[in-house]
Structure 1
């Protein structure tokens, strides 16, 4: 029988505020240039098509799950989309957990299982992240919209 998850959070790829704003500004730019163009030939019509396409793609991205965080009694599972491998973090190997600021940058790219400077990063959107340190010194940075709740659940499991 499958183990029931204590907590599940889905991070959607299209809901990142910075990249959503970027796509909308590009679409609005296309619509403004289309409107300003006096003699609407094929090139101006192309701007209308590009603007509508950006809006449609942006709408579709809001339904694509970047990764799903599931917390079980003994482990945490990070499951990505399509061809990404599933990452399972056993609570028996976790030494500490804390809520930290993910990055001081204004724009952060979504990442899944990115190994950089001794840290494994999982991030879609948000300001805060979980910082998990295992007994081997490996650090996991996991972006979440519900950091406080996840930190509480993991802290209860590792004690």
Structure 2
């Protein structure tokens, strides 16, 4: 990213190829809207290019997911007719091939019952593999607080998951 910030925009293609699937998956798991997720993924990489000079050698993944998260929140704020925002958006089961859907549907139904803030942390940490320190930076908290929140969210998820088995 530092090369992009210094004006080498060809390197943005490398960043896009390496990270666009992760950004899209996060946005899709939070919104379950393919078109919206595609649009916002493009918007994230447009903003990476547009605001490249504000990148200050920090953790690129944290910076990128902060932009993704803010883009989703901005979308919900601008489209208030839905009365949704990132904190109240309903988690929706993603369309998956039938064999995978069966295997994961119970987990996704349990995820659906978590609060949006807990669900977001679990998705970013467990599905996207974002480390606690990066996650703390993304959500504006401390690493210890994020570890505690993720741990509590996972305990809630486990309780929900096993009460329906």
TM-score by length of 1: 0.21
Greater helix share, 1 or 2?
A: 2
Larger Rg: 1
Greater strand share, 1 or 2?
A: 1
TM-score by length of 2: 0.20
